[in-house]
Amino acid sequence: MSGEFSVDLPAPGTALAIGAHADDAEFGCGATLAKWSAAGASVHFLVLTDGSKGSWDPDADQAALVAERRREQEKAAAVLGIAEVLFLDLVDGELENGRAERARVCEVIRTVRPDVVLGHDPWARYRLHPDHRAAGFLVTDGIVAARDPHFFPDQAVGPHRPERLLLFEAEVPDHYEGVDAFLDAKVDALLCHRSQWRNTMEIDPDTPDADAQREAFAARVRADAAAAGAPAGLPLAEAFKRVEDL
């Protein structure tokens, strides 16, 4: 790896992870959040969309799916030691970085007052899902709005400027969090999202091979963590683009 990079921030007092969908933050930074929570950080989740398109079954009951995905997210958060889960319930697959959406993200940042915000890298090339692109820009633009009193001055809570932003799914990572002791918690949290087993994790719970498929999924998560940590000489890691000029 060329260039400078950093490893292992001190656990922040408060962290806010923002994902487009339930399970996005677990995939991107779940083990890091578990590590920080174990070290005493107050960690919060913000899920932007309602998850209503999170099934490949054309006959799925979307209202039931929304409720199920909320329950799954709350279970996953408990596994990671997350202090609070917030839901904006914007329509899955139709997320936009508009003024109204940005105001709501801004208000959450001002209310939670995180030292560190984590979110999707909106600049990663060839990102297919539009919600992930929109979510990344909602995070960056929401931070800018949250820090300045002239953005959304009617909000009841005052401005807040986080110390740093960590972008997961980063195209050009330059920060690494070692997660050796917390990868199992990440896998357990991801497996709480049972509605996503078939379409995201390649697990069919109705087949005799379900246990082997779960083990294969855990092995893939571990392999991804090993690949992420290799440039920094870490056995298992989550990788981020670190932004501090906020």
CATH of the domain at 222: 3.40.50.10320
Domain contains 190: yes
Helix or strand (DSSP H, E) at 239: strand 237-243
pTM: 0.96
Long-range residue pairs from 50-53, CB within 8 A, at least 24 positions apart, any chain: 50/87, 50/89, 50/90, 50/91, 50/92, 51/21, 51/22, 51/92, 52/91, 52/92, 52/93, 53/92, 53/93
Please report, in tens digits, the pLDDT of each residue of the chain (246 residues total).
456 999 999 999 999 999 999 999 999 999 999 999 999 999 999 999 999 888 888 878 899 999 999 999 999 999 999 989 999 999 999 999 999 999 999 999 999 999 999 999 999 998 889 999 999 999 999 999 999 999 999 999 999 999 999 999 999 999 999 999 999 999 999 999 999 999 999 999 999 999 999 999 999 999 999 999 999 999 999 999 999 999
Domain contains 1: no
- Are 3 and 29 a contacting pair, CB within 8 Å? no
Could you give the number of structural domains in the chain? 1
**Domain span including residue 32:** 6-243
- Are 92 and 62 a contacting pair, CB within 8 Å? no
